[in-house]
Structure 1
Amino acid sequence: MIKHLKELETPSLIINEEKMNRNLHRMMSVRTKHGVNVRPHFKTHKSIAIAKKQLELGAIGITVATATEAELLLDNGIEKILIAFPLTDRKKISRLLERGKNARLIFAIDSEEQAAIFKEEGNILEVEPELWIKVNSGLNRCGVEPREETVQLATFIKKEAVGKLSGLFTHAGHSYAAASPEEIDRIAKEEAESILTSANACENAGIPIEHRSVGSTPTFERAAQYDGITEVRPGNAVFFDAMQVGLGTAQLEETALTVLATVVSKKKGRFIIDTGSKSLTTEKGAHGNETVKGFGKILNEGELYVTRVSEEHGIVEIPEEAEGIWEKLQLNQRVEVLPNHACPVVNLFDYYYVLKENGDLVTLPVDGRGKSQ
């Protein structure tokens, strides 16, 4: 058994279990603070074991982004799943509707054309799909506009007997580009209100809305405070990352995921690690967010960042005020890198090394790696 980080080959993906457990409890604490349910997103950790731990802690289900992620969960006994992406492929829809006969699958809807596909496929299989309408709360990605457009789609679903419409949901992903805590507050308010006003408009039209769901790690604790919100769907909060630290959503001490790297070369004014774009991605934070520097932060070595990446190389340029670090770092020395965005980084690795609270290291598969269809 590997007993120490120094024994690992690099690059390696590391979870600090103690920090992750604290983050999981923080995530679930909105239940007691605000009386809302938690349906965490799978796409951050992509781990069956972590998903089951979230359910054990009280999550009411799991959120996924793709059909193959949903099928992976079903194959592993997790049967309460929200597919938070508007599926339009008839093969995927038919396959999941068939499997949904013995599980609770919730499907995202954001257009009448898509709803018509679900009606046709549901009629063929003689199943009534459970549907949630996706509402646009400012990200301007998928989703109908709040209130009138939401009512229009809800009315179509009811009139055409497409399926059981039981909820509305949104995702304020534009909060990742917020410039201040006050801006996050504003986005969280708009996120919650987009759902609450749309749900009220639907109910005024005679269409009951049981579930009113919001997401986004920067906003989930804030949006959960609004009366009428029934659940939140944070993903990144299981680990946190440099983006969340920059936004003020988490402290550096709360980040639970790092990439272990090795110093492979030292040149004047810089050193090179074996952790490039194939380990860290090239994400530099959401557009408009100026708080994230470089391609990852070198931990425990002052203000050092991965300033350039190629596929296997991470270049760390040393500022003049930190020249002493160049002398300190030795060839083959290990450093930990805090990634800018944990979610895509996880998808680059086959497994984690989990640093247990007792100091042991164990491997944990990234079960959902590559489940992108």
Structure 2
Amino acid sequence: MRIDQLDTPSLLLDKDKMEANLNEIADFASEQRINWRPHIKTHKCLKIARRQIEKGAVGITVAKISEAEVMASGGVKDILIAYPISAPEKINRLSALMKDAQIKVAVDHVKQAKLLQDSLQGTPWELEVWIKVNSGLNRCGVEPGREVLQLAKQIANMPNLTLTGIFTHAGHSYAASSMAEIESIALTEGRAVAESAALCEKEGIPIPARSVGSTPTYKIAGKVSGITEVRPGNAVFFDAIQVGLGVASIDQCALRLLASVVSKRSGERVIFDTGSKALSLDQGAHGNATVKGFGHVVDHPEIRIERLSEEHGIASIDGETTLDLTDKVQIIPNHACTVMNLFDHVIVHRQGIVIDQWRIEARGKVQ
């Protein structure tokens, strides 16, 4: 079957484009002699996670315990939960998960560490923890340098916790207005981790993993001396935000939405069958202003999706368009991660010919 014969809306994954994107990350990590631990919140799919590991990833990164549970049940054995955990319900789930995989957990406060330690007190279990450093996003994370060292010393006195890493996420790179600004953010990102790790090691606290990542910055931050790992997520697919930032080209975008024209008013608008339940309302995180509208309609620069209701994508027409009722188009989403989370499966194709259908096992896993 050709992809243009599919019902709409359908989520499409170009396997060749994805493979090329994965090769680019793997090659970078190999050239720098560092590890690669992709963030799977972008794809939430076991087949893709396994493919990343086949290409050399040392493990994966997840945002939530529920994602880790899905990945561990599917055979992924090395997982960083890059999210602070302190609620008793989640700590109980974490204890169970430790039996199935090598888990690493983010901490950015001594109270979190104490709660984790208390839950493991008297057990034979040792939990790896990684300190989250704030490198400018001003979300989670302790400040680099002395705050990292202080927390590291406190963790060192907790017998069931082992500090094995320091990491950060420069998500504010998504708001950058130029590649020069992205480079500056990336260098700050890498130095925040590397210098904090060096300070800890000077005090006798070894830090084997020094991890950075974000799709816009990983190729720069990953070259900072002392960094041992990168964690790009979106780079498996890319999307309209990455194109707007100058990080990727339209041709590299592997994830697209197949949509149909369901209504048209000549000279004014066309309506696609892809509303907020298919494209999401995301126009970019952390102040990004590079995207216009709600997705890039491939090969139709005259069309801009101006509004989304739940089931309708309302697009304006700049001049004339050849699009008519029942015509199908491909739309590159603004943010691939949020769109992937809206679908149960993705249609995999090669040069427009359907070759498989992959479940998105961790979609909706937000706890």
Q: TM-score, normalised by structure 2?
A: 0.97
1:309-354: CA deviation from partner (whole Å, max 9, x where unpaired): 11100011012xx32x1xx212111011110000010000110011
Match for 1:116: what amino acid? K
Q: 1:287 to 1:212 in 2, by over 3 A?
A: closer
- SS in structure 1 opposite 2:42? coil
CA distance in 2, matches of 1:99, 1:345: 27
The answer on whether the counterparts of 1:276 and 1:311 sit within 8 Å (CA) in structure 2 is: yes
Name the SS for the 1:139 alignment partner.
Answer: coil
Q: What residue ranges of structure 2 are gaps of 5+ in the alignment?
A: none
**Structure 1 residue corresponding to 2:259, chosen from 261, 277, 291:** 261
State how far apart, in whole Å, the 1-side matches of 2:264 and 2:12 are.
Answer: 24
The answer to whether the aligner puts 1:356 opposite 2:350 as a matched pair is yes
* Alignment pair present for 1:308 and 2:307: yes
| Paired AA for residue 273 in structure 2 | D
Q: What is the aligned partner in structure 2 of residue 279 from structure 1?
A: 278
Structure 1 residue identity aligned to 2:40: F
Partner of 1:213: 211
Cα 1:343–1:128, aligned 2, differ >3 Å: closer, same or farther? same
RMSD of the TM alignment (CA)?
1.3
1:67-86 equivalence runs, <5 A: 67-86=65-84
Residue correspondence of structure 1 range 1-373 to structure 2 within 5 A: 3-268=1-266, 269-319=268-318, 322-323=319-320, 325=321, 328-356=322-350, 359-373=353-367
Give the superposition deviation at 1:89: 1.8
Q: In the TM superposition, what is the alpha-carbon distance from 1:289 to its structure 2 partner?
A: 2.8
Letter in structure 2 aligned against 1:330 = D
- Deviation readout 1:208-242 (Å, 9 max, x if unpaired): 11100001000011111111100000000000000
The offset of 1:162, in angstroms, is 4.8
Counterpart amino acid of 2:139?
R
State the distance in 2 between where 1:95 and 1:366 align: 22
SS of the residue corresponding to residue 262 of structure 1 reads strand
| Paired-residue identity, % | 49
Match of 1:18, SS? Answer: helix
TM-score where L is the length of structure 1:
0.95
Aligned length: 366
The residue type equivalent to 2:6 in the other structure is L
Contact 1:115 1:162 in 2 (8 A): no
Q: How much has 1:303 moved relative to structure 2?
A: 4.3
The 10-residue stretch of structure 1 (42-51 or 31-40) with the greater mean CA deviation from structure 2: 31-40
- Provide the rounded CA distance (Å) in 1 between the counterparts of 2:163 and 2:326: 57
Which secondary structure does the structure 1 equivalent of 2:353 belong to?
A: coil
Between stretches 91-100 and 119-128, larger displacement belongs to 91-100
Conserved 8 A contact 1:98-1:125: no
Contact 2:80 2:105 in 1 (8 A): yes
Task: Give the CA deviation at 1:357.
Answer: 5.1
SS of equivalent to 1:72: helix
